[in-house]
């Protein structure tokens, strides 16, 4: 049986970009927000700034010890406040911004994600291992119809990826040795950090994640145990029915 051969018992998934199409989803929420509040913007650039500078920049400051640990919701909300102030938005309340921030809880899955995940779940424990917070991931799973066996997140592990503590805590909560767990992600940095922490790695590149203005590294890397074009292809490779 493949499961014993590979000794992989659980798959832990990066979520933003790997399971869900955050960029298109949030742009759509922003466009609706813009129509409602009569605000115009280049929403693609707005969302990129929100994501890459606000969220990922904020995680970097926490990991470097320059800021205290916090949640994805708080990082998103702080950056949104700054973006709204910089743009000089009028007639937009703090409650309106809270509602827009909730867009990150309601991201749409890639077309293969729900059914592919269910195939993978037939043979492996499937869990998130995301820098999102648990409540964000729970809302997203309910919105998208994703069935996780467990929701593991930075607030549960107490550390953001790529801190090795996050991966190690994930394996510990699942009752497994790190090498019984395989990280599934569209991002090489996440996978390399997972491997450094003792996990295995499956690379599922998502060429459409970053929109038209950013390059996405889709090149194979033989260091990863698996590479697949989507979750169905990964399920095929792992012998899932």
Residues at the interface with a second copy (CB under 8 A): 73, 125, 127, 133-136, 138, 141-142, 147, 149-151, 155-156, 173-176
* CB within 8 Å of 176: residues ≥ 6 apart: 9, 10
Q: Closest CB to a second copy among 97 and 210? A: 97
Q: Closest CB to a second copy among 121 and 192? A: 121
Q: Closest CB to a second copy among 10 and 227? A: 10
Q: Closest CB to a second copy among 120 and 186? A: 120
- In the complex, the smallest distance separating the C-beta of residue 129 from a second copy, rounded to whole angstroms, is 13
* CB within 8 Å of 159: residues ≥ 6 apart: 69, 165, 166, 169
- In the complex, the smallest distance separating the C-beta of residue 212 from a second copy, rounded to whole angstroms, is 33
* CB-count exposure of residue 224 (10 Å: 0-12, 13-18, 19+): buried
Are the beta carbons of 128 and 15 closer than 8 angstroms?
yes
Alpha helices in 64-187 (DSSP H): 72-87, 94-101, 113-121, 134-144, 154-157, 164-173
Q: Closest CB to a second copy among 47 and 181? A: 181
Q: Closest CB to a second copy among 84 and 134? A: 134
Element at 226 (helix H, strand E): strand 226-227
- In the complex, the smallest distance separating the C-beta of residue 43 from a second copy, rounded to whole angstroms, is 26
- In the complex, the smallest distance separating the C-beta of residue 136 from a second copy, rounded to whole angstroms, is 8
- In the complex, the smallest distance separating the C-beta of residue 40 from a second copy, rounded to whole angstroms, is 31
Q: How far is CA 89 from the centre of its chain?
A: 29
DSSP code, position 224: S
Q: Beta partners for 185?
A: 203
- In the complex, the smallest distance separating the C-beta of residue 142 from a second copy, rounded to whole angstroms, is 6
């Amino acid at each position: 049986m493949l499961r014993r051969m590979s000794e992989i018992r659980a798959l832990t998934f990066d979520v933003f970009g790997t399971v869900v199409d955050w960029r298109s989803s949030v742009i759509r929420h922003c466009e609706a927000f813009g129509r409602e509040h009569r605000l115009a913007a280049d929403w693609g650039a707005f969302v990129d700034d929100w994501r890459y500078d606000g969220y990922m920049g904020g995680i970097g400051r926490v990991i470097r010890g320059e800021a205290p640990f916090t949640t994805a919701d708080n990082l998103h909300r702080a950056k949104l406040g700054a973006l709204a102030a910089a743009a000089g938005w009028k007639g937009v309340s703090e409650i309106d911004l809270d509602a827009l921030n909730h867009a990150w809880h309601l991201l749409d899955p890639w077309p293969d994600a729900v059914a592919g995940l269910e195939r993978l779940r037939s043979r492996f424990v499937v869990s998130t291992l995301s820098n999102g917070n648990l409540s964000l991931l729970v809302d997203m799973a309910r919105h998208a119809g994703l069935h996780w066996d467990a929701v593991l997140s930075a607030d549960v592990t107490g550390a953001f990826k790529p801190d090795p503590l996050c991966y190690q805590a994930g394996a510990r909560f699942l009752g497994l040795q790190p090498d019984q767990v395989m990280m599934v992600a569209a991002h090489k940095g996440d996978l390399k950090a997972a491997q450094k922490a003792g996990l295995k790695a499956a690379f599922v590149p998502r060429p459409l994640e970053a929109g038209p203005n950013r390059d996405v590294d889709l090149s194979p890397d033989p260091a990863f145990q698996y590479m697949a074009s989507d979750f169905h292809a990964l399920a095929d490779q792992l012998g899932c029915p």
